[in-house]
């Protein structure tokens, strides 16, 4: 609350005495004459602060400040004379207008001056008294090009960083990969993202060419898209802890099952293929996609891939097996108790005392001998014949494509390994 300028009372014996007295004006009238608010009129920081007022008793009660009319007229004349004084030349602006051009505050502008970014400007007399600094618009435009050019990093008035041409920010980078912030940050922590540079006090940026190189190498996690080589099939890009590009293969009919969720590659050392495709969405978390496609929920039922490719989740490549059927389709064991097996073929082992290859098969928990053979391949063929008979479609064959195909495909490699 404004303190009265002078506590000396001007006595008013009765209500008939005019108020304010002749030659004096009230607060409101003085503010109107000077074209300012009452708050400005009574502000100690105002350049024309009035010290000639008096606090008097009003005829109807209460108190009010009054000022000499002559003093108010003098202040008004002085202000008008100052306003008609030195003006900002054409082609120049004052500091406030310069700040508006750059979208910064006076505080930021002051720091730019201290840092040496602003080394121009000239001082002139201010219309309200004192001095002020003005800047040539041409110099300001040149500075704007230097600070806010397309190849410059700067923070705009909206608080958003402008990334130079040839770079992208972190958000743009992970959007190009089709992943979320948490995934991108994990890749960086794990050392999978090795490019990028952080500006002190600014954002982390990545060269566009580095991002494109990673995209070419790893691919983008995009929505499912039609497989160009298989009509009716779709490829589903997978996320996962590994940045390596992987895509699952599903039928078009399976797309509604994964809509609204996400598919990922889940490593699994127990899986021969090294992992499986998992689905997460709604209440499902990490459900194998192969079980989802086949509608299997029983704990005793296993879904396997006919061609051994864990990424191929089309129904034609999936088969449901019980625990026993799964055992029948198991791969050949390479070691037993840490020691390598004697034969490379399933159902075949070397019988030392007869110097023969012996073939056998286990059916419903009972061992059945298939005979002794002088040739390992012949023993493997004997197992295949018995497996087809007893296990049918669940049989794991040594020569699924025939002996000739196996000899053409695998025999040269085995001979080379034996020779080495």
- CATH code, 397: 3.30.730.10
- Count of structural domains, the chain: 5
Torsions phi, psi for 176 (to 5 deg)? -65, -30
Span of 22-26, 257-261, 374-378 with lowest mean pLDDT: 257-261
User: Is residue 44 included in any domain, yes or no?
Assistant: yes
Q: Please tell me the predicted confidence (pLDDT) of residue 373.
A: 93
Do residues 254 and 339 share a domain?
no
How many percent of the chain have pLDDT more than 90?
Answer: 11
Give domain status of residue 9, yes or no.
no
Average pLDDT (357-363) is 90
The pLDDT score that the predictor gives to residue 208 is 87
pLDDT tens readout for residues 54-66: 888 888 778 888 8
**Phi/psi of residue 167, nearest 5 degrees:** -130, 160
pLDDT at position 251, please? 94
Whether the predicted pLDDT of 14 surpasses 50: no
Residue 4 domain flag: no
Same domain, 314 and 339: no
Q: 344 and 414: one domain?
A: yes
* Helix locations, 178-271, DSSP H: 181-189, 208-218, 255-258
Tokens 């009129």 — which residue?
41
Same domain, 236 and 212: no
- 15 occurs within a structural domain: no
* Position 6 pLDDT exceeds 60: no
- CA dist 101 and 93 (Å) reads 10
Range list of β-strands (E), 51-163 = 54-57, 63-68, 92-94, 122-125, 131-136, 154-155, 161-162
Beta bridge partners of 318: 305
Angle between helices 208-218 and 170-177 (to 10 degrees): 20
- 313 and 287 within one domain: yes
Half-sphere exposure of 273 (CA within 13 A, CB side): 14
What pLDDT, in 10s, does the model give residues 196-228?
888 777 788 888 888 888 877 766 666 788 998
Pair 203, 256 in one domain = no
- Inform me whether the pLDDT recorded for 270 exceeds 60: no
pTM equals 0.42
Is residue 162 situated within a structural domain?
no
pLDDT digits (tens, 9 = 90+) for 154-204: 666 666 777 778 888 888 887 777 677 887 887 888 787 888 888 777 788
Residue 3 lies in a domain: no
Residue 73 domain-assigned? yes
Report if residue 12 sits inside a domain.
Answer: no
Tokens 């008096």 correspond to: 54
Q: What mean pLDDT value characterizes the chain? A: 80
pLDDT digits (tens, 9 = 90+) for 100-113: 888 888 888 888 88
- Based on the fold, state whether residues 312 and 269 are members of the same structural domain: yes
238 pLDDT higher than 90: no
Asked if residue 315 and residue 242 are part of one domain, the reply reads yes
Domain stop point among 269, 286, 321:
321
Domain of residue 184, residue span: 167-218
Q: How confident is the model at residue 326 (pLDDT cuts 50, 70, 90)?
A: low
> What is the structure's pLDDT at 317?
92
- Is a pLDDT exceeding 90 seen at residue 314? yes
Which pLDDT score is estimated for 85? 55
Residues 132 and 213 placed together within one structural domain of the fold: no
């Amino acid at each position: 609350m404004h303190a009265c300028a002078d506590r000396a009372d001007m006595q008013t014996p009765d209500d008939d005495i005019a108020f304010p007295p002749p030659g004096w004006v009230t607060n409101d009238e003085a503010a109107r004459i000077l074209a300012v608010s009452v708050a400005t009129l009574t502000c100690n920081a105002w350049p024309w602060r009035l010290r000639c007022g008096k606090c008097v008793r009003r005829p109807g009660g209460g108190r009010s400040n009054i000022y000499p009319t002559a003093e108010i007229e003098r202040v008004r004349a002085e202000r008008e004379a100052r306003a008609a004084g030195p003006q900002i030349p054409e082609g120049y602006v004052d500091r406030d207008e310069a700040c508006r051009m750059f979208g910064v505050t006076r505080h930021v502008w002051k720091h730019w001056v201290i840092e040496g970014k602003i080394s121009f400007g000239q001082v002139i007399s201010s219309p309200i008294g004192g001095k002020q600094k003005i800047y040539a618009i041409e110099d300001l435009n040149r500075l704007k090009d230097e600070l806010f050019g397309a190849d410059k990093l700067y923070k705009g008035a909206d608080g958003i960083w402008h990334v130079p041409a040839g770079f992208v920010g972190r958000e743009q980078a992970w959007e190009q990969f089709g992943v979320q912030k948490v995934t991108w940050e994990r890749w960086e922590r794990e050392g999978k993202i090795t490019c990028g540079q952080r500006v002190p006090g600014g954002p982390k940026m990545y060269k566009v060419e580095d991002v494109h190189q990673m995209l070419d190498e790893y691919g983008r996690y995009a929505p499912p898209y039609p497989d160009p080589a298989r009509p009716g099939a779709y490829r589903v890009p997978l996320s996962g802890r590994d940045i390596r590009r992987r895509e699952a293969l599903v039928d078009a009919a399976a797309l509604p099952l994964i809509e609204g969720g996400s598919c990922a590659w889940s490593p699994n050392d127990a899986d021969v293929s090294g992992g499986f495709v998992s689905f997460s969405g709604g209440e499902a978390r990490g459900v194998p996609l192969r079980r989802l496609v086949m509608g299997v929920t029983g704990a005793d039922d296993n879904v396997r891939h006919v061609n051994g490719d864990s990424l191929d989740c089309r129904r034609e490549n999936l088969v449901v097996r019980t625990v026993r059927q799964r055992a029948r389709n198991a791969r050949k064991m390479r070691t037993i108790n840490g020691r390598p097996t004697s034969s490379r073929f399933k159902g075949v082992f070397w019988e030392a005392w007869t110097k023969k290859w012996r073939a056998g098969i286990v059916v419903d928990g009972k061992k059945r001998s298939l005979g002794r053979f002088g040739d390992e391949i012949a023993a493997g063929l004997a197992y295949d014949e018995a497996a087809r008979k007893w296990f049918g479609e669940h049989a794991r064959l040594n020569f699924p494509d025939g002996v000739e195909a196996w000899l053409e495909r695998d025999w040269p490699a085995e001979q080379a390994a034996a020779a080495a």
